[in-house]
């Protein structure tokens, strides 16, 4: 996958993409990352990329010309086509499904908004997708772009050490994944559950599934309502006083 990011603050991306899984994926050629400074496409001696709000109002708005020019030029840098994603608090909320959809693309162009917003014509005529990472306002789209890249790159084949890692994790079955145990077997009197030491894979899998159900029921009952549970699992939850909302029984 090729990812192009358009930003007024290219320096913000230096640290996060130089570490951990994203760096490994870049080094392994699984993803290539290209950061572009939108100001390079701004006109005039001062390369002004923002302007006042028509009709009045606080703050500065990213101008359409440099954003369109940058995006069109960047699209032409490679033959692959893919969505142009504007990071904005008014976008579709990023979730597991959307990260999977985006991971199927050959290419992503991410446009980071800044200041009080981006000219409406970018929303209407340039972005093919508008994505938010949550119902709160950040000072720009850079951190959201990093979040999106991290969540998408994990899905790319070979990006994680073990091919199972991305499949087992939280949300894959619509459930949270409870946290793992590692050594020592006893820590401050808290023991690792016996079944995990048993070597019985079937028992371990059953215990994990039930623990995930319990974990989700206690923390995110809204997710349980949409997860597909067996009748036995529903009964087991109900017997623990944790019936899924709208669940049968
Ligand atoms: N830009 C500012 N806030 C944002 C958010 N919550 N999600 C995506 N982009 C943003």
pLDDT tens sequence across 53-68: 999 999 999 999 999 9
Residue 12 has pLDDT above 90, yes or no: yes
Residue 171 has pLDDT above 50, yes or no: yes
- Ligand 1 pocket test, candidate residues 5, 85, 88, 95, most atoms within 8 A of CB: 88
Tell me the β-bridge partners of 186. Answer: 191
Confidence of residue 108 (pLDDT cuts 50, 70, 90): very high
- Ligand 1 pocket test, candidate residues 89, 110, 149, most atoms within 8 A of CB: 89
Cα 12 to averaged position of ligand 1 atoms, centre (Å): 15
Residue nearest to atom 6 of ligand 1 (CA): 89
pLDDT for 244: 74
Number of residues that make up the chain:
249
Q: What burial class does residue 208 get, using C-beta atoms within 10 Å of its C-beta: 0-12 exposed, 13-18 middle, 19+ buried?
A: middle
Per-residue pLDDT tens digits for 23-56 = 999 999 999 999 999 999 999 999 999 999 999 9
Cα 93 to averaged position of ligand 1 atoms, centre (Å): 10
- Of 70, 90, 75, 171, which is closest to residue 131 (Cα–Cα)? 90
pLDDT for 166: 67
Check if the beta carbon of residue 242 is closer than 8 Å to that of residue 218.
yes
What is the distance of C-alpha 121 from the center of its chain? Answer: 25
Nearest atom within ligand 1 for CA of residue 134: 6
pLDDT for 247: 47
The span from the CA of 7 to the CA of 13, in Å, is 10
Mean pLDDT of the chain: 93
Q: Which residues line ligand 1 (CB under 6 A)?
A: 87-89, 113, 132-134, 136-138, 140-141, 144
Nearest atom within ligand 1 for CA of residue 113: 1
H helices present in the chain, as ranges: 20-27, 64-75, 96-103, 120-125, 142-153, 165-168, 201-219, 221-226, 231-239
């Amino acid at each position: 996958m090729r990812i192009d990011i358009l930003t007024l603050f290219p320096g913000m991306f230096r640290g996060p993409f130089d570490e951990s899984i994203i760096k490994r994926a870049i080094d392994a050629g699984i993803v290539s990352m290209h950061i572009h400074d939108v100001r390079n496409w701004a006109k005039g001696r001062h390369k002004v990329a923002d302007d006042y709000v028509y009709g009045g109002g606080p703050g500065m708005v990213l101008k359409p010309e440099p954003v369109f020019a940058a995006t069109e030029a960047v699209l032409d840098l490679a033959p692959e086509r893919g969505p142009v994603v504007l990071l904005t608090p008014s976008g579709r909320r990023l979730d597991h499904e959307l990260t999977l959809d985006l991971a199927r693309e050959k290419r992503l162009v991410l446009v980071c908004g800044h200041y009080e917003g981006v000219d409406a014509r970018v929303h209407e005529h340039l972005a093919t997708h508008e994505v938010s990472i949550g119902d709160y306002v950040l000072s720009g789209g850079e951190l959201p772009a990093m979040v999106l890249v991290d969540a998408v790159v994990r899905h790319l084949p070979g990006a994680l050490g073990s091919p199972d890692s991305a499949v087992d994790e939280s949300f894959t079955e619509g459930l949270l994944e409870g946290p793992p145990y590692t050594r020592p077997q006893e820590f401050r009197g808290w023991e690792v559950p016996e079944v995990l030491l048993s070597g019985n894979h079937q028992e371990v899998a059953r215990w994990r599934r039930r623990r995930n159900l319990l974990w989700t029921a206690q923390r995110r009952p809204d997710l349980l309502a949409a997860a597909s549970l067996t009748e036995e699992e529903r009964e087991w939850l109900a017997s623990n006083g944790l019936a899924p909302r709208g669940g049968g029984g």
